[in-house]
Chains A and B, each alone.
Chain A
Amino acid sequence: MKKNWTKFLVVALSVMMVFAMTACGGGSGDSGSSEGGDNALHLGGVGPLTGPAALYGNAVNNGAQLAVDEINAANPDGVQLVWDMQDDEHDAEKSVNAYNKLVDDGMQVLVGTVTTAPCTAVAAEAFEDRMFVLTPSASGPAVTEGNDNVFQLCFSDPNQGIASADYIKANYADKTVGVIYNNADNYSTGIYDKFKSEYEADGKKLAAVEAFSDDANADFTAQLNSMKNAGVDLIFLPIYYTPASNIMTQANKMGYAPTYFGVDGMDGILDLEGFDTSLAEGVLLLTPFTPYSDDAKVQDFVKAYEDKFGETPIQFAADAYDCVYAVYDAFGKTGLGTDASSADICEAMIKVFTGGDFTASGLTAETMKWNAEGEVDKTPKVCVIQDGKYVEQ
């Protein structure tokens, strides 16, 4: 009996390993990029266009394409942009392959990659190659760490934690604050750590902190009871919207109605099929972009995006759109021609980005500046969900 068990386990584990290894089958993106000689700057993008994270990659592809088309149409005699995006299926190895293909095709600046884990791998390659990288959405700190050529347009995970803590302290000083986070996820723990140290920096205390691990179907009653017993009336949720929806449903059944405060992972909760969005009323979230903003620039973008792609843009699309404009503006400041090598462009762009007087403006912020670590400095927007829409606070 006992012996059989060991056998079963060994076999089960080895079979799972084989599956994990073979699950990375082939499939390469389409090629297609013209060679230099035309007054054009070649931008490359890498991100998941297929697979479970395809939503994000496609949004980046669409947003960047829209910006490229606008820039090219606006000044047909000036510097033209060429955009080519390759699929990495949210896989680090494929991401490096896609990056190498783009380099071979003559890419001069990389706008990518979309997700953190692949971006960390590609950033190391790009550092060796001296390729300038501006990622729209890879928010992990490992992406920029030690790479002077990599910049983020989105908030880094730690900065989201700090910005949330500051906002809560400034606007909800009288609330008792608790946190539920996912301790099996880098993104969530990264934000939580910074949130805690920032929130507790001047003597305030988090009333309750509870965790869960990746399982989206988890029972949250224990965590919620702990929050309730500690008198928590504002729960900070540095997690994705799927478990957040589960938490809200279970709290509602318990008759517990705290205020929820989420970060960019909360974006998407209103589009969750079957979810009773009335439960999300009053949820606060830190997000750089909302398609419902009154801002004229945002409205134009949303309209153009909807006309062209038939869907409402998410923040990833706006991030990519801003990335293209930031790269275009910075490239104009370098004074280089489009025939410059990617390494020359990289050194010049780093100087512009870290020079101190370069600011970009876009959909996700009025002014964006970068520090030498590659992190962006912009004002976070806090939205509240009202009548099933984001309303800027």
Chain B
Amino acid sequence: MNFLNSLISGLSLGSVYAIIALGYTMVYGISKMLNFAHGDVIMVGGYVSFIMTMYVGMNGWLALLVAMVVCTLLGIIIERLAYRPLRGTGSLAVLITAIGVSYFLQNAALLIWGANPRVFTSLFDGVGTIHAAGGQLTITPESLFTILANIVIMIVLTLFVNRTKAGKAMRAVSEDNGAAQLMGINVNQSISLTFAIGSGLAAVAGVLMCSAYPVLMPTTGAMPGIKAFTAAVFGGIGSIPGAMIGGLILGIIEIFSRAYISTELSDAIVFACLIIVLLVKPTGLLGKKVSEKV
């Protein structure tokens, strides 16, 4: 039973990582940049949803929708103001800007919402936990919904990228930016769309994460952001199924090492696994091998 309990926790935590990792991996895929501010967009999503439920009195699901809209806009604005002017100046300038944006968001949150931690009310407040096998097996509604949401998001996103015109345009830009432009694809629009989708998903991840682990602080997004980034690299950065697999595996490794090996070493084990995977397969589990032009 302990095994099943841990498996469910691991899948649920891994699903949160996977949804966040999508934002990293899609942005990397299309613009070859690491958006380190992504983790902090999660935190903004959490706070917006918190404010909407606690002070405006909205229903949790409506608040989630508002948080998604705010984060989507935030993602587009960040891309427009901070990253677009630097496009073509090399990856270092953009990387440093991304770290700057991350600090900006954290400190803005500190200024607006203060340093005192808040406790987030779960989306499923009042929904009972499922107890099975004589109370041995517990499944919280949060973990069940997180796992389901992850699966739905993955299916919808895969269909979107493969079947729709906008999705095809995104893939084309990812493949070859210049050629895509010559074919009449609006590159700026495609990149904006990617940021919008990634940031909207970050809001979902933020609300789901805070529902399960309810503490909300200006630095709430930092650690999950790093773990999800690890998951994206683990699965092969740039690959959507890779983000899902990487996230799930990371979550399961983390919970199982806590349950069976040591709670003190769980983070070390997670990152050791990453190093081993990268040593054996430098592009990650599902990453494409790209030969670099010299």
**Bound together:** yes
CA distance A52 to B109 in the complex (A): 13
Q: List residues 191-241 of chain A with CB under 8 A from any CB of chain B.
A: 210-213, 215-223, 225-226, 229
Known: A217-B220, A219-B212. 14 other contacts (CB 8 A): A4-B292, A8-B34, A12-B36, A15-B95, A19-B103, A210-B258, A212-B263, A222-B6, A222-B263, A225-B6, A255-B129, A272-B118, A274-B214, A276-B119
Known: A225-B259, A245-B119, A253-B129. A219 touches B13 (CB 8 A): yes
Main secondary structure of the interface of A (DSSP, over half): helix
The interface residues of chain A lying within 8 Å CB-to-CB of B119 are: 245, 249, 272-276
CA distance A211 to B95 in the complex (A): 34
The interface residues of chain B lying within 8 Å CB-to-CB of A3 are: 292
The interface residues of chain B lying within 8 Å CB-to-CB of A183 are: 264
The interface residues of chain B lying within 8 Å CB-to-CB of A217 are: 209-210, 213, 215, 220, 223-224
- Please give the residue numbers on chain A whose beta carbons come within 8 Å of chain B beta carbons, in ascending order: 1-4, 7-8, 11-12, 15-16, 19, 52, 183, 210-213, 215-223, 225-226, 229, 242-243, 245-246, 249-250, 253-255, 272-276
- In the complex formed, the residue of A with least CB distance to B43 is A217
Determine, out of B59-67, B78-86, B135-143, B190-198, the stretch whose residues face the partner at the interface.
B135-143
Interface string of B77-97 (1 = CB under 8 A from A): 000000000000001100110
- In the complex formed, the residue of B with least CB distance to A51 is B115
CA distance A3 to B120 in the complex (A): 42
- Please give the residue numbers on chain B whose beta carbons come within 8 Å of chain A beta carbons, in ascending order: 2, 5-6, 9, 13, 34, 36, 50, 54, 91-92, 95-96, 99, 103, 115-121, 129, 131, 135, 138, 140, 142, 209-210, 212-217, 220, 223-224, 254-255, 258-259, 262-264, 267, 282-283, 289-290, 292
Other-chain residue from B54, B96, B116, B209 in contact with A11 (beta carbon distance below 8 A):
B96
CA distance A15 to B215 in the complex (A): 28
The interface residues of chain A lying within 8 Å CB-to-CB of B34 are: 8
Q: B117 to A242, Cβ gap below 8 A?
A: yes
Q: A11 to B135, Cβ gap below 8 A?
A: no
Known: A1-B292, A217-B223, A242-B217. A15 touches B259 (CB 8 A): no
- In the complex formed, the residue of B with least CB distance to A217 is B213
Other-chain residue from B120, B140, B223, B255 in contact with A253 (beta carbon distance below 8 A):
B140
The interface residues of chain B lying within 8 Å CB-to-CB of A4 are: 91, 292
Q: A249 to B290, Cβ gap below 8 A?
A: no
Q: B50 to A274, Cβ gap below 8 A?
A: yes
Q: B140 to A273, Cβ gap below 8 A?
A: no
Q: B220 to A15, Cβ gap below 8 A?
A: no
CA distance A362 to B210 in the complex (A): 42
Q: A218 to B213, Cβ gap below 8 A?
A: yes
CB distance from B58 to the nearest CB of A (A): 14
Q: B129 to A213, Cβ gap below 8 A?
A: no
- In the complex formed, the residue of B with least CB distance to A250 is B213
